[in-house]
């Protein structure tokens, strides 16, 4: 097969696999296989830059960072919807609809709490993404919508090359769990929190750096198609079907009803079910299905007469705040938490709620003993909304932030321009404990059997001060702990030992370097190959890596200047924790069934090290190129082997491509 045909084939295979994974939630291709094919495509595109198109699966990330967003005038204004808050409002709406369209059928869709995103396709390729803005003019956020994996870069349509322009609208949103994790991280760092998933999604889409947007894991449901007649589509249900065929993610929960009483029953039922979804919904949208009937009904000055938003009542509960507890996080941030009289709210019993920081407590005038209203931010995080001063009896106490750390008695400080109070004592047991809990967590060193309760005991007993101490624990020390039998102590010792070969990426995340997440850990590991090499990197060098910004670069160099961290690293090294990529345990099947040749001089690895990496990932290596060679990794000064690979049509990857491939594992 010639290269051009292979390119077309690869694009098709990769598009289909990505669609199955991100849109249908039904993956069919192993990740490693996907990565391998993507790399093959990238290699062809590198040899033929003239073949690269913006809708290629290789073009998801890497959009340029912009100074500010351009403006986009919407083809049709984005209208908002009228709201209904109860059954009476819905019956009223029905009456108005029936007067113009007596036979109307309704489609009811979930109202996802995100923000409208407008997408434009030309010749089936995504050319523009925009925010709602004021409804007439929005902001151009094309580079950012490209990183949302469920948004197709190319529509699935035959004869797509000559396809008329397509304009689709839908809801960009952040899943509840992503929102909760993001806020948790921001709280630990003493940063301002997002009030709800909608604000978080909006903030993420308006990032000037698409790499930041990509880390935020946004998603998208399509629900509207402009100029639908053009596509022979005559109703909302047909639009949803068409959007699905084109490869968009369409929310599967929509239902069709013939009469309003059935709609009302469905709405009330959904109010109970609303917490079961992975994303926050704030109501339902009820639309007249037929476009002919929609035209009949028309618009008011700001909203369609053929649709209405049924808003769920805000879920709040009243309770009493009995105390304020202070939690000291890994970076020393003191977070005040309200202790509440138990109350049932949005699907669960709540006994604690975050108060964020002192400024928030003062702004809301929340006192100990107050009656308070609480809700769940993003449907997950209990939060005190306000106090009810009219219910005070004079016994309430104003809360003061402690001047010394409640755990260690060390000094508490607050930097100018920061909302957070911090314990400055790096030896504070709370900080140690939180740092160890982070170190052993699933995406870090993944040590089974070391839950927070065990870590608390270990730190409390003085057996563990930092993560390095875990590796010198003995079985008899563990079996002395509460609720820890001989068998679990043995298992734990084994799990700790096993974690030594987790590899550099997870280790970098586990160390808790500020701003370095799982993904950044992988990128750094793939690029530098060892902790020693990373330690020597300059801020400038770090900033030049994809996905590493200025703030992260500074955090990394600061980290290695900290003596305490140097000590921790030395301890881990003595314990035999693997600090390079070279000999890490086989991490997968990325190169399974493939034979590779490494040639020339690489900068990150010595040749045998690169070969070991290939073998650790299931591949074979050879010293000579033949027609059986699957690919060649090529460094500086490569000679005859490179020529031979070219003449045989064997794919050749640069060191960067090879590193990127490993980073994606």
Nearer to ligand IVH by Cβ, of 116 and 183: the residue is 116
Question: Strand (E) positions, 467-589?
Answer: none
Supply the residues annotated as catalytic: 111
**Cβ 283 to ligand IVH shortest distance, Å:** 8
Q: Please list every residue from 393 through 452 that binds ligand IVH, using CB under 6 A.
A: none
Among 30, 203, 304, 618, binds ligand IVH (CB under 6 A): 304
Nearer to ligand IVH by Cβ, of 3 and 82: the residue is 82
Rounded distance between C-alpha atoms, residue 453 and residue 287, angstroms:
51
**Cβ 272 to ligand IVH shortest distance, Å:** 19
Angle, helices 655-663 vs 518-528, to 10°: value is 150
Question: Strand (E) positions, 150-280?
Answer: 166-173, 219-225, 255-257
Among 45, 94, 171, 664, binds ligand IVH (CB under 6 A): 171
**Cβ 81 to ligand IVH shortest distance, Å:** 4
**Cβ 163 to ligand IVH shortest distance, Å:** 24
Nearer to ligand IVH by Cβ, of 152 and 283: the residue is 283
Listed ranges 107-115, 438-446, 450-458, 495-503: which one lies at the site for ligand IVH (CB under 6 A)? 107-115
Q: Please list every residue from 114 through 133 that binds ligand IVH, using CB under 6 A.
A: 116
How far, CA to CA in Å, does 322 sit from each of 319, 341, 351, 381, 397? 9, 7, 10, 19, 10
Q: How far apart are the first and last CA of the chain?
A: 29
**Looking at beta carbons, which pairs linking 147-150 to residues 24 or more positions away fall under 8 Å?**
147/60, 147/61, 147/63, 147/210, 147/213, 147/214, 147/218, 148/172, 148/218, 148/219, 148/220, 149/18, 149/21, 149/22, 149/60, 150/22, 150/23, 150/219, 150/220, 150/248, 150/249
**Cβ 148 to ligand IVH shortest distance, Å:** 15
Among 10, 17, 97, 112, binds ligand IVH (CB under 6 A): 112
Q: Please list every residue from 267 through 286 that binds ligand IVH, using CB under 6 A.
A: 285
Angle, CA of 375, 91 and 198, to the nearest 5°: 30
**Cβ 296 to ligand IVH shortest distance, Å:** 16
Listed ranges 227-235, 303-311, 370-378, 516-524: which one lies at the site for ligand IVH (CB under 6 A)? 303-311
Nearer to ligand IVH by Cβ, of 36 and 305: the residue is 305
Listed ranges 74-82, 89-97, 486-494, 565-573: which one lies at the site for ligand IVH (CB under 6 A)? 74-82
8 A C-beta contact, residue 448 and residue 502: no
Q: Please list every residue from 314 through 373 that binds ligand IVH, using CB under 6 A.
A: none
Strands 307-311, 367-368: pairing is unpaired
Listed ranges 8-16, 110-118, 211-219, 423-431: which one lies at the site for ligand IVH (CB under 6 A)? 110-118
Asked whether position 240 contacts ligand IVH by CB under 6 A, the answer is no
Helices and strands in the chain: count of H runs, count of E runs: 24, 24
Residue 84's nearest CA partner among 311, 296, 315, 358 is: 311
**Cβ 346 to ligand IVH shortest distance, Å:** 19
8 A C-beta contact, residue 591 and residue 618: yes
Residue 466's nearest CA partner among 441, 432, 440, 439 is: 432
Asked whether position 219 contacts ligand IVH by CB under 6 A, the answer is no
Nearer to ligand IVH by Cβ, of 171 and 655: the residue is 171
**Cβ 89 to ligand IVH shortest distance, Å:** 15
The secondary element (H helix, E strand) that includes residue 54 is: none
Asked whether position 79 contacts ligand IVH by CB under 6 A, the answer is yes
Asked whether position 109 contacts ligand IVH by CB under 6 A, the answer is yes
Asked whether position 80 contacts ligand IVH by CB under 6 A, the answer is yes
Nearer to ligand IVH by Cβ, of 203 and 549: the residue is 203
Listed ranges 75-83, 178-186, 191-199, 532-540: which one lies at the site for ligand IVH (CB under 6 A)? 75-83
Listed ranges 3-11, 301-309, 432-440, 598-606: which one lies at the site for ligand IVH (CB under 6 A)? 301-309
Nearer to ligand IVH by Cβ, of 37 and 112: the residue is 112
Among 52, 226, 309, 408, binds ligand IVH (CB under 6 A): 309
Listed ranges 105-113, 188-196, 350-358, 359-367: which one lies at the site for ligand IVH (CB under 6 A)? 105-113
**Cβ 204 to ligand IVH shortest distance, Å:** 16
**Cβ 380 to ligand IVH shortest distance, Å:** 19
**Cβ 132 to ligand IVH shortest distance, Å:** 7
What is the DSSP secondary-structure string of 320-366? EEEEEEEEE-TT-EEEEEEEEEEEEETTEEEEEEE---HHHHHHTT-
Nearer to ligand IVH by Cβ, of 236 and 584: the residue is 236
SS3 404: strand
- Residue 521 CB neighbours (<10 A): 23
Q: Which residues have a Cβ under 8 Å from the Cβ of 383 and sit 6 or more positions away?
A: 353, 354, 374, 375, 376, 377
- φ/ψ of 590, rounded to 5, equals -50, -40
SS3 376: strand
- Residue 94 CB neighbours (<10 A): 20
**Cβ 307 to ligand IVH shortest distance, Å:** 6
Nearer to ligand IVH by Cβ, of 118 and 537: the residue is 118
Listed ranges 6-14, 104-112, 185-193, 418-426: which one lies at the site for ligand IVH (CB under 6 A)? 104-112
Nearer to ligand IVH by Cβ, of 110 and 350: the residue is 110
Nearer to ligand IVH by Cβ, of 303 and 501: the residue is 303
Asked whether position 307 contacts ligand IVH by CB under 6 A, the answer is yes
- φ/ψ of 440, rounded to 5, equals -90, -5
Nearer to ligand IVH by Cβ, of 111 and 249: the residue is 111
The residues with which 235 forms a beta bridge, in sequence order, are 290
Among 223, 246, 528, 591, binds ligand IVH (CB under 6 A): 223
Asked whether position 581 contacts ligand IVH by CB under 6 A, the answer is no
Q: Alpha-carbon Rg of the chain, whole angstroms?
A: 28
What b/e sequence results for 168-191 when a residue is b if at least 16 CB atoms lie within 10 Å of its CB, and e otherwise? Answer: bbbbbbbbbebbbebbeeebbebe
The residues with which 126 forms a beta bridge, in sequence order, are 121
Residue 565's nearest CA partner among 466, 490, 429, 453 is: 466
What proportions of the chain, in percent to the nearest 5, are helix, strand and coil?
Answer: 40, 20, 40
How many residues line the site for ligand IVH (CB under 6 A)? 13
Site for ligand IVH, rule CB under 6 A: 79-81, 109, 111-112, 116, 171, 223, 285, 304, 307, 309
């Amino acid at each position: 097969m010639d290269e051009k045909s292979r390119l077309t084939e690869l694009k098709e295979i990769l598009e289909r696999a990505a669609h199955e994974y991100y849109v249908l939630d039904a993956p069919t291709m192993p990740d490693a296989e996907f990565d391998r094919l993507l790399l093959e495509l990238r290699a062809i595109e590198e040899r033929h830059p003239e073949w690269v198109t913006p809708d290629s699966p290789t073009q998801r990330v890497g959009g340029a960072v912009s100074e500010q967003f351009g403006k986009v005038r919407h083809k049709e204004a984005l209208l908002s919807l009228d709201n209904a808050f109860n059954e009476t409002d819905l019956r009223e709406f029905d009456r108005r609809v029936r007067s113009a369209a007596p036979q109307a059928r309704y489609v009811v869709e979930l109202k996802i709490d995100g923000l409208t995103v407008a997408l434009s396709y030309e010749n089936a390729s995504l050319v523009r993404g925009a925010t709602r803005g004021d409804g007439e003019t929005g902001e151009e956020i094309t580079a950012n919508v490209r990183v949302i994996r469920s948004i197709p870069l190319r529509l699935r349509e035959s004869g797509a090359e000559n396809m008329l322009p397509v304009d689709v609208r839908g809801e960009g949103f952040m899943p509840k769990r992503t929102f909760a994790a993001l806020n948790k991280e921001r709280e630990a760092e003493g940063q301002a929190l997002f009030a709800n998933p909608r604000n978080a999604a909006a903030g993420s889409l308006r990032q000037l750096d698409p790499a930041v947007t990509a880390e935020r894991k946004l998603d998208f449901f399509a629900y509207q198609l402009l100029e639908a007649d053009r596509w022979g589509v005559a109703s909302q249900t047909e639009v949803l079907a068409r959007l699905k065929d084109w490869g968009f993610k369409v929310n599967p929960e929509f239902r069709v009803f013939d009469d309003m009483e059935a709609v009302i029953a469905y709405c009330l039922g959904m109010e109970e079910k609303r917490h079961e979804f992975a994303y926050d919904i704030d109501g339902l949208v009820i639309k007249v299905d037929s476009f002919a009937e929609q035209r009949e009904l028309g618009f008011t000055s700001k909203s369609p007469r053929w649709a209405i938003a049924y808003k769920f009542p805000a879920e709040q509960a009243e309770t009493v705040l009995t105390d304020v507890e202070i939690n000291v996080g890994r970076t020393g941030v003191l977070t005040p938490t309200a202790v509440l009289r138990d109350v049932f709210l949005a699907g669960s019993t709540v006994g604690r709620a975050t108060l964020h920081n002192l400024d928030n407590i003062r702004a809301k005038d929340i006192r100990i003993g107050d009656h308070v209203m609480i809700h769940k931010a993003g449907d997950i995080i209990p939060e005190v909304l306000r106090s009810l001063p009219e219910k005070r009896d004079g016994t309430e106490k104003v809360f003061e932030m402690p001047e010394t750390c409640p755990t260690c008695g060390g000094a508490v400080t607050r930097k100018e321009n920061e909302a957070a109070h911090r314990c400055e004592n790096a030896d504070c047991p709370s900080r140690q404990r939180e740092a160890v809990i982070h170190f052993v967590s699933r995406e870090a060193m993944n040590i089974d059997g070391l839950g927070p309760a065990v870590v608390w005991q270990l730190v409390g007993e003085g057996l563990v001060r930092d993560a390095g101490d875990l590796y010198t624990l003995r079985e008899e020390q563990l079996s002395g702990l509460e609720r820890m039998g001989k068998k679990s102590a043995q298992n734990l010792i084994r799990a700790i030992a096993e974690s030594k070969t987790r590899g550099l990426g997870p280790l970098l995340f586990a160390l808790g370097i500020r701003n370095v997440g799982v993904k950044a850990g992988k990128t750094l590991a793939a690029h530098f190959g060892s902790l020693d090499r990373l330690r020597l990197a300059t801020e400038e060098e770090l900033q030049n890596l994809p996905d590493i910004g200025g703030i992260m670069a500074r955090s990394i160099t600061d980290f290695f200047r900290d003596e305490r961290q140097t000590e921790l690293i030395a301890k881990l090294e003595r314990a035999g924790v693997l600090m390079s990529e070279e000999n890490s345990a086989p991490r997968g099947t990325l190169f399974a069934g493939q034979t590779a040749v490494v040639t020339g001089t690489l900068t990150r690895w010595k040749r045998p090290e690169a070969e070991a990496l290939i073998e650790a990932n299931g591949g074979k290596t050879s010293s000579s190129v033949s027609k059986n060679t699957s690919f060649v990794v090529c460094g500086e000064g490569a000679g005859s082997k490179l020529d031979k690979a070219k003449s045989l049509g064997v794919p050749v990857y640069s060191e960067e491509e090879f590193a990127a491939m490993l980073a994606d594992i």
